[in-house]
Amino acid sequence: MTMWIVPGAPLNDGQGWRIWCSQKGEGSFVPPAIEVRQGGTMVPVHTEWKLLPPLSGLKRRMGIMSVRLQSSPPPQGATFEIQVGTNNDADVQTFFWSTLPQNVTDKGVTFLFSSCFWQNNDRDGYYRAGMRELKILCQPHFKMLIGDQVYLDWPLYWDMADKEAIQLFGKRYRQYWEDEHYREVLQLNPNFITCDDHEYWNDYPEKQKHLIQAWTDSHCKTYGPVADQLYYQYQQCLNPDEARWYSFVIDPVSFFVTDTRSTRGECRDKGAGHFILDDQWNALEAWQQGLQGPGVLVLGQPLFQKDGNYKDHSLSNFKEDYVRLWRVFERSLGGKNTQGMPHDILILSGDIHTGRYAEAHGPFPDAPYGVPEFIASPAAMISPGNTRPEEPPQRIRVKPNAQGGESVWNIDPQKNVEVMTIQNNVGIVRMFPGSQAGGTPRVRFELELWRLPAKRIELDWDEDPPPQGVGGPLKCVFKKELRLR
């Protein structure tokens, strides 16, 4: 019986990895044996094991093994061979994972990010094929999965009388995780994770008249907590400290991975609800205050998005929180931090089934990129999917802004939107030391958007191509270099 193995977040300071293990059945199980090698030489490690609490009716158990390298100091962003199981075990599994780099060096730091994987439309494993090629091409140290790694709101019409919520949602997770193509994508690199609505249901936590599990408040209160339990068991537990939101540093770049979904309240009239609660707000604002270099902020939903409606709310629908989030960027660009120096923040996002790069420019002329937002979505388009890319709003007003007045941020569709595509895609980010400008050190970010391979469609002379195109091999469709403070 093959144990499911998925790497979680690499440990801080390059010390090792978190490894998720799952086995069929409701009983306890012991962790697998593990051997770590570098260049063929065995590396001593220390392991810690945590068996997660059982969920009645799930019929699977999960555990987290922390594997810590004993070398001091650990190698900087090095690649190791990790063998899970032993030579006497028929189910031995071998992986090649990098540790987390401690600094941005001349060798560079590379990572992938993606969102929105509709497994029903990727039965042939094109997502896996593309990620395999990208691993060979760019040797990423890790990847970031930033929402909709699973779609629990499918199928639409379950027979609710026959099964408990844990069985319904558990079956959908099994459909994804037992798919060897998808599981290999998860296994290729260590993973940092956040969620979005489809880890629960469309526009969670709002009621949805077309979804049985979200028809009424009673349905939402029944099915929402179960979806959250499964999110913890399958995904959240892989994060540093098993956290919903968290930060980490690859000096001088600091990352903050938000969770704008799992504890979100209903939007309510005039957008009075909240997509982030106070403890996360406090951590996010403290992170901005403590920046010593560029920031990377990961959002499950884009910052640059027009207001949604009752079918699907945007961050901008939450008026108070949306303006508060914008003030984080304004304070950073204005040097309102403990260092007293301006720092740029790059946004990475997903959700909208559009790969896109855009910049918002406002009252900070010394910030040549304004607020840059890079989106990778979808990894596999849902059906029916987008027929055209989602454009950002052309103007965003922030009131009250960081100074108590009003700011206007402009996104010129001709100058500030450099790519939009609905073809399945993945983002790559590379970081290198940059030059100093005006006494401020810079980090050079290289951004790339790659179209994933897809089955080529042959058209007759009188046929129009489908919205997502006619397929083809893996291809880079966008490149951009930023030098961020």
Q: What pLDDT score was predicted for residue 460?
A: 77
Q: Which of the two residues, 163 and 110, has the higher pLDDT score?
A: 110
Q: What pLDDT score was predicted for residue 288?
A: 99
Closest to 226 (Cα-Cα) out of 211, 214, 210 = 214
Q: Which residues touch 309 (CB under 8 Å, ≥6 apart)?
A: none
Q: What pLDDT score was predicted for residue 436?
A: 74
Q: Where are the beta strands (DSSP E) in 99-244?
A: 109-114, 142-146, 191-194
Residue 337 has pLDDT above 60, yes or no: yes
Q: What pLDDT score was predicted for residue 86?
A: 58
Residue 87 has pLDDT above 60, yes or no: no
CB atoms within 10 A of CB 440: 16
Percent of the chain with pLDDT over 90: 85
**pLDDT band (50, 70, 90) for residue 435:** confident
Query: Tokens 């790339």, residue?
Result: 448
Domains 1-99 and 103-484 share a fold: no
Residue 300 has pLDDT above 70, yes or no: yes
First vs last Cα of the chain: how many Å apart?
Answer: 51
Q: Where are the beta strands (DSSP E) in 340-460?
A: 345-349, 355-360, 371-375, 395-398, 407-410, 417-421, 425-437, 440-451
Q: Mean of the pLDDT values across residues 221-226?
A: 96
CB atoms within 10 A of CB 27: 8
Contact between residue 360 and residue 100 where contact means Cβ atoms under 8 Å apart: no
Which residue intervals of 238-336 are DSSP H helices?
278-289, 319-333
Closest to 389 (Cα-Cα) out of 477, 278, 265, 277 = 477
Which residue intervals of 306-393 are DSSP H helices?
319-333
Contact between residue 204 and residue 213 where contact means Cβ atoms under 8 Å apart: no
Angle 253-277-379 (CA atoms, 0-180°, nearest 5)?
Answer: 55
Is 103-484 assigned to CATH 3.30.500.10? Answer: no
Q: Is 88 exposed, middle or buried (0-12, 13-18, 19+ CB in 10 A)?
A: exposed
Query: Tokens 């938000």, residue?
Result: 258
Q: Mean of the pLDDT values across residues 430-440?
A: 83
Q: What pLDDT score was predicted for residue 76?
A: 81
Q: What pLDDT score was predicted for residue 145?
A: 99
Closest to 283 (Cα-Cα) out of 252, 240, 318 = 240
CATH top-level class for 1-99?
mainly beta
CA distance linking residue 284 with residue 326, whole number of Å:
12
Q: What pLDDT score was predicted for residue 474?
A: 98
User: Quick one: tokens of 81?
Assistant: 């061979």
Residue 440 has pLDDT above 80, yes or no: no
Residue 206 has pLDDT above 80, yes or no: yes
Mean pLDDT check: name the lowest of 139-148, 199-208, 222-231, 268-277: 268-277
Q: What pLDDT score was predicted for residue 159?
A: 65
Domain boundaries defined on the chain = 1-99, 103-484
CA distance linking residue 173 with residue 328, whole number of Å:
35
Instruction: Give the max Cα distance, the chain.
Output: 69
Sign of the four-CA dihedral 380, 315, 230, 94? positive
Please report which helix (H) or strand (E) contains residue 21, including its range. Answer: strand 16-24
Residue 1 has pLDDT above 80, yes or no: no
Residue 117 has pLDDT above 90, yes or no: yes
Residue 452 C-alpha from the chain's centroid = 17
- DSSP-derived letter for residue 56 is T
